[in-house]
Amino acid sequence: MADLAITTQGLTRRFGHLTALENLDLSVKRGSFCALLGPNGAGKSTTFRLLLGLLRPTEGEGQILGTGLTSIRSELFQQVAYLADQPQLPRHVSARGYLAYVRPFYRSWDAALEQQLCEELAVPVDRRIATLSRGNRQKVALISCLAFRPRLLLLDEPFAGIDVAVRDQIVDSVLAGAGDRAMTVLLASHDLDEIERLVDQVVMLREGRCCLQEPTDQLLNRFRRVFVQLREPAATTPANPSFSEDWIQWRQDGARLELVHSHFDPARTERDLRQQLPNLEALSTAPMSLRDVIAAVSSPTRRPAPCP
Amino acid sequence: MSLMVHQLRWDLRAVWPAGLVMLTLLLAKIWALISADDGRRSDLLSVAQADTYVIAAAWLVIALWQPMRPNAGREPDWRIRPLPRTTIALAKLLLMLLAIVFPVHLAELWLLRQLGFALPPGEWIYGVAGSVGLICGLSGIALLVRRPADLIGVLVTAGVLIATETMLAGFLIRTGEPLPPEIRGLRALTLVVTALVVGYGRLHNRSQTWLWIAFVAGLIVYLGLRLLPAAPSGLTVEASVRAKTPVLHRLSIQLPLELRLDPPGAYRVSSGDNPLLLDGVPAKPIGSQSAFFGDITASLGPEYRPTGPARNSLRLLFSVPPGELQAGPVTYRDSLRITSRSLSVAGQVPLKEGAGLRTGRAHLAVQEINLGEGGLELVVRVDQVHTNLLSPHAWRFALIHPARREVVRRHSTTRDWTSQLLVTRWHSRSTQVLRIGQDQMPIALERWLEGAELVLVSVESQASRLVPVSVDAFLDPAGAP
Distance from the B103 Cα atom to the nearest Cα atom in chain A, whole angstroms:
24
Tell me whether residues A52 and B70 touch, CB distance under 8 A.
Answer: no
The string of pLDDT tens digits covering residues B31-55 is 665 665 544 334 444 445 555 555 5
| CA-to-CA separations, B343 to A111, B173, B347, in angstroms, rounded | 71, 22, 12
Q: Best residue in A50, A72, A101 to probe B by mutation, most B CBs within 10 Å?
A: A101
Q: Residue B384 — pLDDT band, cuts 50, 70, 90?
A: confident
Lowest mean per-residue pLDDT among A218-222, B298-302, B470-474: B298-302
Residue type, B303: E
CA separation for the pair A47, A45 (Å, rounded): 5
CA separation for the pair B310, B349 (Å, rounded): 25
Q: Does A145 touch chain B (CB under 8 A)?
A: no
Tell me whether residues A104 and B81 touch, CB distance under 8 A.
Answer: no
Q: Once rounded to an integer, what is the mean pLDDT over residues A284-306?
A: 73
* Exposed/middle/buried for residue B58 (C-beta within 10 Å: 0-12, 13-18, 19+): middle
Q: Does A52 touch chain B (CB under 8 A)?
A: yes
Q: Which residues pair with A284 in a beta bridge?
A: A227
Q: Does A102 touch chain B (CB under 8 A)?
A: yes
Chain B residue numbers with beta carbons less than 8 Å from the beta carbon of A84 are 75-77
Q: Once rounded to an integer, what is the mean pLDDT over residues A98-113?
A: 92
Q: Does B400 touch chain A (CB under 8 A)?
A: no
Q: What is the pLDDT of residue B178?
A: 44
Residue A145 has pLDDT above 50, yes or no: yes
- Choose between B300 and B57: higher pLDDT: B300
In B, minimum Cα distance to A56 occurs at B206
Lowest mean per-residue pLDDT among A169-178, B57-66, B336-345: B57-66
Residue B187 has pLDDT above 60, yes or no: no
Chain B residue numbers with beta carbons less than 8 Å from the beta carbon of A49 are 76
Residue A237 has pLDDT above 60, yes or no: no
Residue B255 has pLDDT above 60, yes or no: yes
Tell me whether residues B70 and A90 touch, CB distance under 8 A.
Answer: yes
CA separation for the pair B124, B160 (Å, rounded): 21
**CA A128, A54, A179, A211: dihedral to nearest 10 degrees?**
-120
Q: What is the pLDDT of residue B91?
A: 76
Tell me whether residues B70 and A104 touch, CB distance under 8 A.
Answer: no
Q: What is the pLDDT of residue A214?
A: 92
Q: Residue A58 — pLDDT band, cuts 50, 70, 90?
A: very high
Chain B residue numbers with beta carbons less than 8 Å from the beta carbon of A141 are 77
Residue A301 has pLDDT above 60, yes or no: no
Distance from the A90 Cα atom to the nearest Cα atom in chain B, whole angstroms:
5
In B, minimum Cα distance to A155 occurs at B77
Q: Does A88 touch chain B (CB under 8 A)?
A: yes
Distance from the B202 Cα atom to the nearest Cα atom in chain A, whole angstroms:
14
Residue type, B7: Q
Q: Residue A24 — pLDDT band, cuts 50, 70, 90?
A: very high
The string of pLDDT tens digits covering residues B364-383 is 889 889 988 888 888 888 88
Q: What percent of chain B shows pLDDT beyond 70? A: 53
Please count the residues of chain A: 308
* Exposed/middle/buried for residue A20 (C-beta within 10 Å: 0-12, 13-18, 19+): buried
Residue A81 has pLDDT above 70, yes or no: yes
In B, minimum Cα distance to A53 occurs at B80
Q: What percent of chain A shows pLDDT beyond 90? A: 40
Nearest to A84 among B14, B73, B76 (CB): B76
Residue A245 has pLDDT above 80, yes or no: no
The string of pLDDT tens digits covering residues B12-28 is 777 777 667 666 666 66
Question: Within 13 Å of residue A304, how many CA atoms lie on the same side as its CB?
Answer: 20
Q: Residue B143 — pLDDT band, cuts 50, 70, 90?
A: very low
Q: What is the pLDDT of residue B479?
A: 61
Q: Does A82 touch chain B (CB under 8 A)?
A: yes
Q: What is the pLDDT of residue B198?
A: 53
CA separation for the pair B444, B452 (Å, rounded): 13
Lowest mean per-residue pLDDT among A242-251, A283-292, B384-393: B384-393
Chain B residue numbers with beta carbons less than 8 Å from the beta carbon of A81 are 80
Q: Once rounded to an integer, what is the mean pLDDT over residues B164-170?
A: 51
Q: Does A103 touch chain B (CB under 8 A)?
A: no
Distance from the B14 Cα atom to the nearest Cα atom in chain A, whole angstroms:
8
Q: What is the pLDDT of residue A304?
A: 39
Q: Best residue in A105, A142, A146 to probe B by mutation, most B CBs within 10 Å?
A: A105
Residue B174 has pLDDT above 50, yes or no: no
Residue B298 has pLDDT above 90, yes or no: no
Across chain B, mean pLDDT equals 70
Secondary structure (3-state) at B115: coil
Q: Residue B155 — pLDDT band, cuts 50, 70, 90?
A: low
Q: Residue B351 — pLDDT band, cuts 50, 70, 90?
A: very high
Q: Once rounded to an integer, what is the mean pLDDT over residues A3-21?
A: 92
Tell me whether residues A87 and B80 touch, CB distance under 8 A.
Answer: no
- Choose between A4 and B94: higher pLDDT: A4
CB contact at 8 A, A198 and A176: yes
- Choose between B229 and B311: higher pLDDT: B311
CB contact at 8 A, B88 and B35: no
Distance from the A12 Cα atom to the nearest Cα atom in chain B, whole angstroms:
16
Residue B420 has pLDDT above 80, yes or no: no
Tell me whether residues A82 and B75 touch, CB distance under 8 A.
Answer: no
The string of pLDDT tens digits covering residues A199-210 is 889 999 988 999
Q: Once rounded to an integer, what is the mean pLDDT over residues B422-426?
A: 63
Q: Residue A193 — pLDDT band, cuts 50, 70, 90?
A: confident
Q: Which of residues 263-292 of A touch B (CB under 8 A)?
A: none
The string of pLDDT tens digits covering residues B306-334 is 887 777 788 888 888 777 777 788 899 98
Closest residue by Cα to residue A222 from A140, A288, A298, A178: A288
Q: What is the pLDDT of residue B223?
A: 52
Tell me whether residues B82 and A76 touch, CB distance under 8 A.
Answer: yes
Q: What is the pLDDT of residue A46?
A: 93
Q: What is the pLDDT of residue A155?
A: 92
Tell me whether residues A88 and B79 touch, CB distance under 8 A.
Answer: no
Handedness of CA A74, A79, A82, A88 (dihedral sign): positive
Q: Quick one: which H or E segment has residue B111?
A: helix B107-114
Distance from the A87 Cα atom to the nearest Cα atom in chain B, whole angstroms:
6
Residue B447 has pLDDT above 50, yes or no: yes
Q: Once rounded to an integer, what is the mean pLDDT over residues B442-470?
A: 85
Q: What is the pLDDT of residue B185?
A: 55
Secondary structure (3-state) at B239: strand
In A, minimum Cα distance to B205 occurs at A55
Q: Does B17 touch chain A (CB under 8 A)?
A: no
In B, minimum Cα distance to A50 occurs at B76
Tell me whether residues B80 and A80 touch, CB distance under 8 A.
Answer: yes
Q: What is the pLDDT of residue A196?
A: 80
Q: Once rounded to an integer, what is the mean pLDDT over residues A113-134?
A: 90
Distance from the A145 Cα atom to the nearest Cα atom in chain B, whole angstroms:
10
Tell me whether residues A74 and B6 touch, CB distance under 8 A.
Answer: no
Q: What is the pLDDT of residue B474?
A: 85
CA separation for the pair A268, A278 (Å, rounded): 15
Q: Which of residues 45-84 of B touch A (CB under 8 A)?
A: 69-70, 73, 75-77, 79-84
Residue B254 has pLDDT above 50, yes or no: yes
Residue B177 has pLDDT above 80, yes or no: no
Q: Once rounded to an integer, what is the mean pLDDT over residues B244-260?
A: 85
| CA-to-CA separations, B264 to A238, A292, A294, B310, B311, in angstroms, rounded | 112, 101, 96, 10, 11
Nearest to B82 among A52, A74, A92 (CB): A74
**Residue B285 has what DSSP assignment?**
B
